[in-house]
């Protein structure tokens, strides 16, 4: 029997509820010990709701709770690198929200800071734990698709101008990026997780309906090292409502289409080696979700706890999280250069992701 791991959360904004709910739902061997937000009202609200001490300074929180095992970082993306590097010196394991950071160089610094301090760095990719995604990935691992032909992801979500105006970081180059970085980073992660390393890509972006610095709409194509192709489209300018967050995998021996708003339903499942259990797969592995964040934080955090207890690799640690930032960076670079063909890891000259505002 392992003891419960003690968690503390930094950043009491929108996604924090998924962490707090998961850590207190009674399904995980976890104990939540404290929360922190520089906005006192937000810290207080979560502290009172979960009956926890709350802080406005994470150093003060860690001084008061030196026995914390894991720190969850749910602050704006552009601060992830600063916060993770600053926190690593406490030697606590860290779970950082997606996307891991805005620049590949920052991912490297975060990974090194955690290595230096003998702590592990996990990156939230909760969609990998959606039952529908788990079932499709199992089919892939069993070779049921055969030779892969194509993967497609589509994110057709609605974000309003008010969404971007409720804080000063969403929709900025310095702290967020656009639909690719903020919303579709999950789907890009799934595409590379299913189809493997990318040989090259090209990307076009546009800002069609929202008054923001960054893109609200993007399209891209990929060629994977396997030779399979990938198609990507994402927009937060879908009106009048969210339509879908979907993933299709097509192979020589079968195809799967996952959809719903958050890759949460099996829409099509067909293989030439049909098995009896396939008949029930839609029903058993499709899930209703309350919002586009889905229900994956609980199984994701369960996997982190298991990886720590059993000292085994986590599903998404620093190097795996960094792959997503390499892809995003190449997409932004390609778009900035008018849609040229690029490889992930290409030299960056024009991408503005993570760019600090000139004063």
In the complex, the residues that contact ligand NAD under the rule CB under 6 A are: 10-16, 36-39, 42, 58, 74-77, 79, 97-98, 124, 126, 167, 182, 293
For residue 311 the two structure tokens come to 């000292």
Among residues 39 and 252, whose Cβ is nearest to ligand NAD?
Answer: 39
Among residues 36 and 236, whose Cβ is nearest to ligand NAD?
Answer: 36
Among residues 38 and 231, whose Cβ is nearest to ligand NAD?
Answer: 38
| Closest CB 300 distance from ligand NAD, rounded Å | 9
* Residue nearest ligand NAD, CB atom distance: 13
| Closest CB 333 distance from ligand NAD, rounded Å | 20
Among residues 13 and 53, whose Cβ is nearest to ligand NAD?
Answer: 13
Among residues 30 and 182, whose Cβ is nearest to ligand NAD?
Answer: 182
Among residues 76 and 230, whose Cβ is nearest to ligand NAD?
Answer: 76
| Closest CB 279 distance from ligand NAD, rounded Å | 32
| Closest CB 285 distance from ligand NAD, rounded Å | 20
| Closest CB 344 distance from ligand NAD, rounded Å | 20
| Closest CB 73 distance from ligand NAD, rounded Å | 8
């Amino acid at each position: 029997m392992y003891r419960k791991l003690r968690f503390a959360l930094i950043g009491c904004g929108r996604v924090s509820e998924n962490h707090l709910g998961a850590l207190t739902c009674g399904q995980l061997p976890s104990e939540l010990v404290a929360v922190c937000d520089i906005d006192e009202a937000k810290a207080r609200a979560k502290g009172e709701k979960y009956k926890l001490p709350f802080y406005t300074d994470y150093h003060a929180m860690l001084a008061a709770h030196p026995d914390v095992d894991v720190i969850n970082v749910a602050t704006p993306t552009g601060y992830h690198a600063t916060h993770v590097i600053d926190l690593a010196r406490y030697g606590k394991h860290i779970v950082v929200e997606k996307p891991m950071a805005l620049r590949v160089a920052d991912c490297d610094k975060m990974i090194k800071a955690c290595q230096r301090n003998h702590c592990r760095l996990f990156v939230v990719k909760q969609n990998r734990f959606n039952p529908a995604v788990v079932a499709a990935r199992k089919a892939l691992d069993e070779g049921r698709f055969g030779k892969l032909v194509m993967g497609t992801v589509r994110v057709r979500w609605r974000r309003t101008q008010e969404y971007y105006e409720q804080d000063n970081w969403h929709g900025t180059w310095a702290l967020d990026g656009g639909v690719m970085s903020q919303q579709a980073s999950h789907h890009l992660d799934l595409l590379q997780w299913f189809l493997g390393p990318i040989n090259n890509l090209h990307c076009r972006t546009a800002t069609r309906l929202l008054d923001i610095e960054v893109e609200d709409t993007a399209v891209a194509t990929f060629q994977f090292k396997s030779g399979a192709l990938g198609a990507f489209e994402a927009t937060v300018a879908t009106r009048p409502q969210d339509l879908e967050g979907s993933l299709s995998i097509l192979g020589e021996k079968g195809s799967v289409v996952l959809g719903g708003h958050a890759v949460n339903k099996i829409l099509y499942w067909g293989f030439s080696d049909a098995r009896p259990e396939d008949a029930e797969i839609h029903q058993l592995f499709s899930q209703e979700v309350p919002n586009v964040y889905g229900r994956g934080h609980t199984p994701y955090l369960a996997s982190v706890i298991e990886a720590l207890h059993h000292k085994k690799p986590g599903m998404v640690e620093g190097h795996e999280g960094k792959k997503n930032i390499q892809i995003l960076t190449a997409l932004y670079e390609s778009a900035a250069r008018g849609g040229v063909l690029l490889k992930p890891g290409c030299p960056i000259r024009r991408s503005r992701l993570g760019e600090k505002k000139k004063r």
